[in-house]
Chain A
């Protein structure tokens, strides 16, 4: 395992990329952005915002309520990370009502839009803010494909 930019990554992954770079003779922009996105939490969060129409922001925090990263244009607010941690803490107890053991997400719907919070392993939480008309299924799909990457960020930050 190799540590780059504070994120632990699989060295074989980096080796693959190096090989492709060597073969092509120049840096492919898409490949560079792929690597960047895979390592930088803010890039992952920005890509969530970009990928679904109606999503206005995304933020990553530790399960105990410390902000880790947030997408561009989202105002940093430490008390929001704490509120989200408290919400997930209570929800983690509430799932016992239906016999659940693993909290996956909490959806808060209001007249002004959604606050959706995803468990990122047991140590992180991802919050997505979206307008009322947003397709939640679409958000779910985009988020789930990035959870593993975010889990790596949270683990590396500990």
Chain B
């Protein structure tokens, strides 16, 4: 008998980190996006921005010796502080958090740090940090450290314009979900 597991992933992080790109890279269904033209000084960073949510799905085909089907539902948030209420709505009943940060935007790290603490507040689920525009594990670990994440939190270097790179993030998310299933000792994502 096949058992199905559905997990809800929250994809969040600061403005222009690569959240929509990650979901677009991974999703097997057409991504529901709410992108509009960016205004003000943010328009200099990128042309479009998410104002409500992104939604994408990913199904893991069952392995030969396993009868388990895994569905991932990915919910992406807007990045700007003024849309924080959307994160509060979307984080309900989430199973894992993927926090995206741009390694080449160090000016965003401080905001990202408080944002990460806020999003994990009240959640007892695993956390994976996707360090975008980064090729180096050491550097990814360092960026995660700036955000206040301990060494037990996975920090994945990735290039989210590349779908292959996005799949590495998904693999890490799946591992985190499995670990969380095995362990009853999941604390608040290990955020200090």
A33 within 8 A of B: no
Point out the residues of chain B lying under 8 angstroms from A65, CB to CB.
51, 80, 82-83
Indicate whether A86 sits within 8 Å of B51 (C-beta atoms), given known contacts A81-B82, A93-B32. Answer: yes
Asked if residues B83 and A93 are in contact (CB atoms below 8 Å), the reply is no
0/1 interface trace, chain B 72-83, chain A, CB 8 Å (1 if under):
000000101011
Docked complex: A75-115 residues within 8 A CB-CB of B: 78-79, 81-83, 85-90, 92-93
Asked if residues B43 and A79 are in contact (CB atoms below 8 Å), the reply is no
Select which of B39, B52, B80 is within 8 A of A123 by beta carbon. B39
Point out the residues of chain A lying under 8 angstroms from B122, CB to CB.
none
Instruction: Give the dominant DSSP class at B's interface.
Output: mixed
Q: How far is the CB of A80 from chain B (nearest CB, A)?
A: 10
Please tell me the size bucket of the interface on A.
Answer: 20 to 34
Asked if residues A63 and B32 are in contact (CB atoms below 8 Å), the reply is no
A137 within 8 A of B: no
Indicate whether A123 sits within 8 Å of B83 (C-beta atoms), given known contacts A86-B51, A86-B78, A89-B52. Answer: no
Select which of A63, A78, A122, A157 is within 8 A of B51 by beta carbon. A63
Point out the residues of chain B lying under 8 angstroms from A85, CB to CB.
36, 51-52, 83
Q: How far is the CB of B20 from chain A (nearest CB, A)?
A: 12
- Give the CA-CA distance A82 to B86 in the complex, in Å: 9
Q: How far is the CB of A93 from chain B (nearest CB, A)?
A: 6
Closest to A83 in B: B85
B132 within 8 A of A: no
14 of the cross-chain contacts (CB-CB < 8 Å) are: A63-B39, A64-B51, A65-B82, A66-B40, A79-B82, A81-B82, A82-B82, A85-B36, A85-B51, A89-B53, A90-B34, A93-B33, A123-B36, A123-B39
Instruction: Supply 6 further A-B pairs (C-beta < 8 A) apart from A65-B80, A90-B52.
Output: A64-B36, A85-B51, A86-B85, A89-B50, A92-B36, A93-B34
